[in-house]
Amino acid sequence: MVDVLLGLQWGDEGKGKVVDFLAPRYDIIARFQGGPNAGHTLYLHDHKVVLHTIPSGVFHQGIMNVIGNGVVIDPVSFEVECKEIEALGVDLVSNMLISERAHLIIPTHKALDKASELAKGQNKIGSTLKGIGPTYMDKIGRNGLRVGDIIRSDFKEKYEQLKAKHLSLLGDVVPLEEIQAWETQFFNSLQNLKKYTFIAAEYWLNDQLLQGKKILAEGAQGTMLDIDFGTYPYVTSSNTVTAGLCTGLGIAPKWIQKVYGISKAYCTRVGSGPFPTELLNAEGDKLRTLGNEFGSTTGRPRRCGWIDVVALRYACMINGVTDLIITKADVLDDMPEVSVGVSYTVNGVTSQEFPFDVQEKTVMVNYTTFPVWNKKLSDCHSVEDLPDAFHTLVKLVEENTGVPVSFVSNGVGRDQLIVFN
């Protein structure tokens, strides 16, 4: 069977810590979408590691890690990441497999990303400029290069064709010397990529399922950034939702069992785009400081606001969430009160539906507000220890989403996770 773990908000929900906790229950951890824009924070003997493309099971003995066909790989940043992990004593070559169908980010993809954001000016979507969007465009446009191509004799030829196409689109927006410097790094880094085993991951994974092996599919980014169901166009270029694991790994829906959906006890967003419960005041600044809300990959300050159960309810529906996980609950300890966005009023009509054109609308969020608990959540070790006001928050989330909360993370520590039910 396969379980999936994904973010229900705009990413950065603390997926890294939860995957690390759940990993020992599985034989295989597989990434099914996204690219080096992901940043999952893990701790190995108190050493902080941020994983981007590599699945989060690499620090566990006996777990095989798979990079699925739905992922896009930048060989340059991948080499940096591999070296960092290998330096910690991990034998990556023997515990990671890569789908030969995963697409490659080439230097001119990064140049196109840069040109596209420059052209958008004020309306930029807040891309991380890592070439991810243009790579997915080439995948859908049927021009892309895949991992399996790099060991074929015609790889250079295919590469040059794609590069020529990109250069004709780019004009002189990005200096050629800049692209050439990236190109040298790119070809050098292919030697590292070739050290790993490329496989027909769809066959391998299905074979493992038939043998009774347990797979955890590890999502990146978050549901509200999904290309179809997120706050388009301020979204990522892949399907971050449960359905993405079927297309991003080649696993049929019948194998899916648990869907772990992760949400912070409040809400954050990086870059531009709609965020109905955003706090553009001192309370928002306080949440940012208390939660250390600065991007793990980019260092950018994250926009902060209250938990939005309208968006959560929508995310639970799209993903078929079976188990909710609330993270960073302890961050609210030092706020004077807690608010939960329970419905939206748009043009005088109140509902719990998330509008498709939310950025075009004036959304008034209706909140339920209550005084914060007067106990440190990080000192709690069981459900019984948790203060009543926190249970009020949990109940509001459960009642509005229809999904039970299974775990609450109440600190950065590995053991700071309270099991419900």
Residue 161's region, left for phi above 0, alpha for psi from -120 to 50, else beta, is alpha
Are residues 279 and 306 in contact, defined by beta-carbon separation less than 8 angstroms?
yes
Distance CA 397, CA 287 (A): 20
Query: Is residue 328 near ligand GDP by the rule CB under 6 A?
Result: yes
Per-position DSSP letters for 75-138, written without gaps between them: HHHHHHHHHHHHTTT--HHHHEEEETTPEEP-HHHHHHHHHHHHHHGGG------SSHHHHHHH
Applying CB under 6 A, among 331, 332, 342, 358 the residue interacting with ligand GDP is 331
Location of structure tokens 């993903």: 319
Classify residue 342 as exposed, middle or buried by CB count within 10 Å of its CB (0-12, 13-18, 19+): buried
**Which of 40, 52, 109, 166 is the catalytic position?**
40
**Per-residue string for binding with ligand GDP, 278-297, x by CB under 6 A?**
------------------x-
Query: Is residue 15 near ligand GDP by the rule CB under 6 A?
Result: yes
Distance CA 6, CA 319 (A): 9
Applying CB under 6 A, among 3, 13, 74, 333 the residue interacting with ligand GDP is 13
Query: Is residue 81 near ligand GDP by the rule CB under 6 A?
Result: no
Q: Tell me whether the omega of the peptide bond preceding residue 233 falls within 30 degrees of 0, making it cis.
A: yes
Q: Which CB, 74 or 218, lies closer to ligand GDP?
A: 218
Least gap, CB of 141 to ligand GDP (angstroms): 29
Tokens of 16: 């890294």
Rounded to the nearest 10 degrees, how much is the dihedral formed by the CA atoms of 128, 131, 133, 138? Answer: 180
Distance CA 265, CA 277 (A): 13
Q: Which of residues 116-175 bind ligand GDP (CB under 6 A)?
A: none
Least gap, CB of 40 to ligand GDP (angstroms): 4
Classify residue 129 as exposed, middle or buried by CB count within 10 Å of its CB (0-12, 13-18, 19+): middle
Core vs surface per residue 192-213: b (16+ CB within 10 A) or e: bbeebebbebeebbbebbeeee
Query: Is residue 330 near ligand GDP by the rule CB under 6 A?
Result: yes
**Per-residue string for binding with ligand GDP, 376-415, x by CB under 6 A?**
---------------------------------xxxx---
Query: Is residue 303 near ligand GDP by the rule CB under 6 A?
Result: no
Applying CB under 6 A, among 3, 8, 10, 14 the residue interacting with ligand GDP is 14
HSE-up of 7 (CA within 13 Å, CB side)?
30
Are residues 261 and 325 in contact, defined by beta-carbon separation less than 8 angstroms?
yes
12 is catalytic: yes
Q: Which CB, 323 or 330, lies closer to ligand GDP?
A: 330
166 is catalytic: no
Applying CB under 6 A, among 2, 6, 17, 78 the residue interacting with ligand GDP is 17
Least gap, CB of 386 to ligand GDP (angstroms): 13
DSSP letter assigned to residue 232: T
**Per-residue string for binding with ligand GDP, 26-65, x by CB under 6 A?**
-------------xxx------------------------
Applying CB under 6 A, among 3, 5, 6, 7 the residue interacting with ligand GDP is 7
Least gap, CB of 189 to ligand GDP (angstroms): 24
Query: Is residue 226 near ligand GDP by the rule CB under 6 A?
Result: no
Q: Please count the residues of this chain forming the interface with ligand GDP, following the rule CB under 6 A.
A: 20
Binding region for ligand GDP (CB under 6 A): 7, 11-17, 39-41, 296, 327-328, 330-331, 409-412
Active-site residue set = 12, 40
